C-alpha cells in the first residue's frame, strides 16, 4: 500500500501496527509500539515549544509604533495559548506513558473494553472507547446547553 502523508503524519513517522492473527490485545509488542509513538509525539511537541520560546525572545524587540506593538502582543498571546495547550498535551502523554508502564493502557476507563489499536493510533492519549466518548460528548453538550 502506498504511504500517504496523512497516515504517517498522524503516526509521527511510524507505520500502523500490524497485528498477527490471534495476537493478544496490548501485549508487549503493542505496548512498545504505542510507547514509541507517544515518545516521538512528545519530542515533536517539546521541540515546538522550544522553537516558539526562542522565536519570542528574538522577536521581543521594542517597536516604537504602538500598532506594531499591539499586533506583536496579539501574536505572542496566541502563541502562548498554543504553547499552553501543548504543555497540557505533554502532561497527558506522560500520564499515558505511565498507564503503559502499569499495563493499564488501551482499555476504556469507563467501561473497561478494549479501546482498539486503530483508535489509539488516531488518538494515542484516548482513555475512553468510542461509545463512552460519544456518550460523554452528548452529556457535555447537555450540560453546557
Between the two ends of the chain, the Cα-to-Cα distance in Å is 45
Mark residues 80-119: x for contact with Zn ion by CB under 5 A, - for none: ----------------------------x-xx--------
For Zn ion, the closer of residues 39 and 130 by Cβ is: 130
Nearest distance in Å: CB 55, Zn ion: 41
Backbone angles phi, psi at 127, to 5 degrees: -120, 0
Nearest distance in Å: CB 87, Zn ion: 28
Identify whether the C-beta of residue 105 lies closer than 8 Å to the C-beta of residue 34: yes
Among 97, 100, 120, 129, binds Zn ion (CB under 5 A): 129
Residue 25 Ramachandran class (φ > 0 left, ψ -120 to 50 alpha, else beta): beta
Q: Report the distance separating Cα 14 and Cα 63, nearest Å.
A: 44
Nearest distance in Å: CB 141, Zn ion: 18
Mark residues 1-40: x for contact with Zn ion by CB under 5 A, - for none: ----------------------------------------
Other C-beta atoms within 10 Å of 67: how many?
8
For Zn ion, the closer of residues 11 and 96 by Cβ is: 96
Nearest Cα to Cα of residue 57 among 72, 67, 36: 72
Q: Is 132 in the site for Zn ion (CB under 5 A)?
A: yes
114: helix, strand or coil: strand
Give me the residues that bind Zn ion (CB under 5 A), please. 108, 110-111, 129, 132
Amino acid at each position: 500500500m502506498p504511504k500517504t502523508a496523512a497516515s504517517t503524519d498522524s503516526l509521527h513517522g511510524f507505520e500502523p501496527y500490524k497485528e498477527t492473527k490471534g495476537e493478544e490485545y496490548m501485549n508487549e509488542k503493542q505496548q512498545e509500539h504505542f510507547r514509541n509513538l507517544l515518545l516521538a509525539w512528545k519530542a515533536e511537541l517539546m521541540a515546538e515549544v522550544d522553537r516558539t520560546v526562542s522565536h519570542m525572545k528574538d522577536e521581543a524587540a521594542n517597536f516604537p509604533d504602538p500598532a506594531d506593538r499591539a499586533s506583536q502582543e496579539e501574536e505572542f498571546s496566541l502563541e502562548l495559548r498554543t504553547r499552553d495547550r501543548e504543555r497540557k498535551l505533554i502532561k497527558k502523554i506522560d500520564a499515558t506513558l505511565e498507564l503503559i508502564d502499569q499495563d493499564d493502557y488501551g482499555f476504556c476507563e469507563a467501561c473497561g473494553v478494549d479501546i482498539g489499536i486503530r483508535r489509539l493510533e488516531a488518538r494515542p492519549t484516548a482513555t475512553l472507547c468510542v461509545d463512552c466518548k460519544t456518550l460523554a460528548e452528548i452529556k457535555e453538550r447537555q450540560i453546557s446547553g
